[in-house]
Amino acid sequence: MLNYETVCALVGEGMLGQSALNAENELPSILSQLGHFPDDSICLELGTLRGISTAVLASCFKRVITIDTQYHSHRLSNWLKLNVEKKIEPYIVVDYAEEEILIGRLDFDIAFIDTIHDEENTRKAFEMVKKCGLVLFHDAHFEGVKKFVESIGASISDSGIYAVWREERNGDT
């Protein structure tokens, strides 16, 4: 899996501003703790920015569908430098209505939410992606995100930065 050191070496540390990938490598670490995923697993990311977390996810899953409301330059060159561009399917949406329709048509096994870090936007993002049954939240230490992830019973990482929600399915103990 791609980590902070490799990503910095290939794209430069300056590309990592506002990224979920930090020097503590908590994103790769939390992804590996989520357990084994079948080889054909698909991840949906909300919040692409310069595509840094997208690249880490692409090094872990067969395919990453990533959605943003804005196009950020550098993302394609970052994906080319990190050799993950063939695994990434990017979309830009104008608003939640379009995003909801798009996500309604998609099949994916896990979702990563890293968008606007307040309660209302986190709730909207979660409602759109929860059908997959496994959702990873970034920046769960932000007040609104924390309030929301606590309200759905997500597990919060030791650092408080990540939260994981798993749907309880019939037969779960």
Question: Site residues for ligand SAM, window 63-122 (CB under 6 A)?
Answer: 67-70, 72, 99, 114-116
Q: Which stretch binds ligand SAM (CB under 6 A): 17-25, 79-87, 144-152, 153-161?
A: 17-25
At closest approach, how far in Å is the CB of 57 from ligand SAM?
Answer: 9
Q: Which stretch binds ligand SAM (CB under 6 A): 14-22, 36-44, 77-85, 162-170?
A: 14-22
The verdict on 59 binding ligand SAM (CB under 6 A) reads no
CB 88 within 8 A of CB 64: yes
How buried is 130 (Cβ within 10 angstroms: 0-12 exposed, 13-18 middle, 19+ buried)? Answer: middle
The verdict on 26 binding ligand SAM (CB under 6 A) reads no
Nearer to ligand SAM, 23 or 153 (CB): 23
State the Cα–Cα distance between residues 138 and 144, nearest whole angstrom.
Answer: 12
Q: Which stretch binds ligand SAM (CB under 6 A): 6-14, 49-57, 78-86, 159-167?
A: 49-57
Identity of the amino acid at 90: P
Count of residues interacting with ligand SAM (CB under 6 A): 19
Residue selected from 4, 26, 53, 88 as contacting ligand SAM according to rule CB under 6 A: 53
Nearer to ligand SAM, 37 or 96 (CB): 96
Nearer to ligand SAM, 42 or 171 (CB): 42
State the Cα–Cα distance between residues 29 and 25, nearest whole angstrom.
Answer: 6
CA distances, 103 to each of 5, 147, 159 (Å)? 33, 24, 30
Q: List residues bridging with 65 in a β-sheet.
A: 44, 89
The verdict on 22 binding ligand SAM (CB under 6 A) reads no
Give the footprint of ligand SAM on this chain (CB under 6 A).
18-20, 46-50, 52-53, 67-70, 72, 99, 114-116
